[in-house]
Amino acid sequence: MKSEEIKRLLEKYYEGESTVEEEVYLKNFFSLGNIPEDLINEKEIFSYYLKSAIVPEPSLVFEKNIIAALDSIGEASLDQKRRRAFGIFTSVAALILILTGSYFFFIHKSEPRDTFSDPEIAYAETMKILYGVSIRLNKGTQALDRMSSMQEVTRQSLETINRSASTIQEKMKPLAQIRKAGNIIDSTSDKN
């Protein structure tokens, strides 16, 4: 066949309009050794198609491996379903336990009751407890008594210092008048 006829068949092939017989003819033509120079690139394409068209027949082991994989997926999904059911079951059990505990805690909560049946014994026991609390509180405030005595000494010291300062201030008043007079004399002598 001529090169122009092959090119025409190639155009039909690439446009998707070729028949099965024409495609077989093209594959056979490019599988031969004597191909014109301008169709060398097409030979590479068709040789790739020929190599990829050969699909080996699957072995018997291949089919067994697929069946075993499908069975293991089924078992895994069954285990997953069991785990999910167990999780739901434990969640429901925990919820029931919490609700039951809440019911007994809030509904059947007992009211406080007296621990003593005789009021005189209850009064005596209360007084004993309050007396113990009072003793402990008084021990804690003894340290504060020392603080109050320190405050008194500090107050007396400050009063003494204030009296001394006021006495010094009183004694300084005549000196302040002398200083004023000295300043007046200095200012008049500077003017002259």
Q: What is the pLDDT of residue 23?
A: 81
Q: What residue segments make up the domains of the chain, in order of their start?
A: 3-59, 119-192
- pLDDT, tens only, 35-44: 777 777 777 7
Q: How far apart are CA 85 and CA 88, in angstroms?
A: 5
Mean pLDDT is highest, among 66-70, 84-88, 106-110, for 84-88
Report, in this order, helix, strand and coil percent for the chain, each rounded to 5.
85, 0, 15
Q: What is the pTM of this model?
A: 0.29
